[in-house]
């Protein structure tokens, strides 16, 4: 896994490559269907994005990231669903965020 900086705004999630200072991916918050959190203390979580490919990430701050995403979509027409599971099927890209 490659390290990336995760930025969350009111409208989108940004993944930035800290080595090259390049935006690697922009994900509209409206496109995120749900966030899957591992039940284990392993730092893994996944963003499920039906219109694109899903994104598997690892962060020691997975709970805080989930809370920020939930707050960012509060009041939106489609709030992000939270799923606690150790399994899911998807097409993924993986990043380490800090």
pLDDT digits (tens, 9 = 90+) for 9-24: 989 999 999 999 999 9
CATH code assigned at 7 = 2.30.29.30
Query: Distance (Å, rounded) from C-alpha 85 to C-alpha 39?
Result: 6
Task: Map tokens 């930025």 to a residue.
Answer: 7
Q: What's the domain count of the chain? A: 1
> pTM to 2 decimals?
0.82
Residue range of the domain that includes 20? 2-97
The span from the CA of 49 to the CA of 53, in Å, is 6
Tens of pLDDT, residue by residue over 75-86, are: 767 788 899 987
């Amino acid at each position: 896994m490659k390290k990336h900086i995760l930025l969350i705004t009111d409208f989108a999630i940004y993944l930035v490559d800290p080595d090259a200072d390049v935006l690697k991916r922009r994900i509209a918050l409206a496109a995120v269907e749900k966030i899957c959190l591992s039940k284990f203390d392993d730092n893994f979580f996944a963003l499920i994005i039906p219109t694109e490919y899903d994104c598997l990430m690892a962060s020691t701050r997975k709970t805080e990231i989930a809370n920020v995403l939930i707050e960012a979509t509060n009041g939106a027409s489609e709030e992000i669903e939270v799923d606690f599971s150790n399994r899911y099927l998807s097409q993924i890209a993986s990043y380490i965020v800090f």
